[in-house]
Amino acid sequence: MGDTQVGKQMEEEKIPMMSPYKMGKFELSHRVVLAPLTRSRSFGNVPQPHAVLYYSQRTTKGGLLISEAAGVSDTAQAYRDMPGIWTKEQVEAWKPIVDAVHAKGGIFFCQIWHAGRVSNSVFQPNGQAPISSTDNGLPPQVRANEINVVEFSPPRKLSTEEVPTVVNDFRLAAKNAIEAGFDGVEIHGAHGYLIDQFLKDGINDRKDRYGGCLENRCRFALEIVEAVVDEIGADKVGIRLSPFSSYSQSSDSNPEALALYMAESLNKYKILYCSAVEPRMKTIDEKVVCPYSLVPMRKSFKGTFISAGGYDMEEGNNVVAERRADLVAYGRLFISNPDLPKRFELKAPLNKYNRETFYTPHPVIGYTDYPSLETRV
C-alpha cells in the first residue's frame, strides 16, 4: 500500500471525539465529557467516600468531568441525599474526591445549582416552602429512572430584595468549590431549576426587574455569572443551559431568541464554556422532526461549546466532525461504562445501564459495579 493510501486510511480511521482539544488553559486529551449526573448517594447532603471510586473510575488523563449538582445553600436541594457545597464539612468531604480525579490527570468542574420550586418542604429548612421566581407549583413527576414519582410543595416567590442573596449563595459556592480543589464550576441554568425558572416565560410571571421582557428574565442568570466570574475568574466558569427543554414545565414562547440572547450576553463575561442541551425530537404527522437547532447558539458563543442530548458514539462524532460543538457530554452511557472514552476509541461494546439503580442509596450497586474493559471477565 502506498504512502498516499496509508495516509488516507489513517485519516478515515480518525475518531473525532478522541482528538485533543485546548479549552482555555486546560489541555484535553479527548472530547468526551462526563455530564453532571444526580446519583443521590451523598448522605445528609455530604459527599461520601464511595464517590472517590465512582469519579476516579470515570477519569482519564486529560478528560473533563463535571460533578453531580451541588447545592449552593440549605434551600437548594431537590431530592434526598444530593451533595452540597455550602458548608465547611461538605467542602472537606469533596477534597479526597477531587484529589482522586486529579491523581489520574483529570480535569474536574463542580456543578453548582439551586432547585427552586423543583423541591419539597421536607428538604427545606424548618419545612418552609421552596423558593422560586413564581408562586405557581409543579404537579408530581416521574423521575428519569421511570420508576420513582416525586411530589413538589407549592413554592414561594422571591421578593426583589431577596434575589441578590441567592446570587451571593452562588458566589460563595464557587469560592468553596475552588477551596475544595475543583478546577472550576459549572453554573446549572438548565432543566427547569431555579435559574431556568427565571429564564423561561412559561414559568416566570414576575412584574419586577427580573420578569417580563427577555432582558429582565435573563438578569438573574447573568448576575450569577458576573458574581461567580468576579469571585474565581472567567477562565474557571462554565454554564449549562437548556433553552429548548420543557423539563419540569420549563417551556418558553421563543426559545431561539432566549438561546441567542444568553449566548451573546455570556460573551461579555468571557466565560470558559457553555454547555447546551440538544433540542428534543418531536413526532408530527408520524414524522420525526426537530424545529430547533443549537447551531445559531454555538456560532454566537465565543468560548468552548459543549453539547449534550442522549447521543450515541456515531452521533457524538458527527457533532464534533461537523463543528456543531467542541465537546460532547455523556450521561447514562458514562454511568454504565466507566471507561467510555476508551470504549469509543476501540469501538468496543457498551454495557447496558439499569435505570432502576440510578437513584438508589446503595454505595456500590448501580454506582461503582459497572465493569470496565480491563475488569470484565
**pLDDT one-digit tens code per residue, 54-71:** 999 999 999 999 999 999
Burial 30-53 (b: 16+ CB within 10 A, else e): bbbbbbbbbbbbbeebebbebbbb
Do the beta carbons of residue 134 and residue 248 sit within 8 Å? no
CA within 13 Å, CB half, 71: 26
Active site residue 193: yes
H helix intervals, 182-294:
194-199, 214-232, 255-266
Do the beta carbons of residue 64 and residue 107 sit within 8 Å? yes
Q: How far is CA 116 from CA 7, 120, 189, 203, 222, in A?
A: 54, 10, 11, 12, 17
Residue 146 grid coordinates:
421511570
Strand blocks (E) in 91-163: 107-113, 131-132, 141-142, 149-150, 156-157
What is the torsional sign of CA 186, 192, 196, 200? positive
pLDDT, one tens digit for every residue, the chain (377 residues): 444 443 444 344 679 999 999 999 999 999 999 999 999 999 999 999 999 999 999 999 999 999 999 999 999 999 999 999 999 999 999 999 999 999 999 999 999 999 999 999 999 999 999 999 999 999 988 877 777 888 999 999 999 999 999 999 999 999 999 999 999 999 999 999 999 999 999 999 999 999 999 999 999 999 999 999 999 999 999 999 999 998 899 999 999 999 999 999 999 999 999 999 988 644 445 454 556 789 999 999 999 999 998 899 999 999 999 999 999 999 999 999 999 999 999 999 999 999 999 999 999 999 999 999 987 54
Going by the DSSP 8-state scheme, the letter that residue 84 receives in this structure is B
Distance CA 9, CA 356 (A): 43
Residue 57, number of CB atoms within 10 A of its CB: 18
Specify the pTM. Answer: 0.93
Distance CA 104, CA 112 (A): 23
Strand partners, 240: 188, 275
Active-site position among 54, 193, 311, 353: 193
Burial 193-232 (b: 16+ CB within 10 A, else e): bbbbbbbbbbbbebeeebbeebebbbbbbbbbbebbbebb
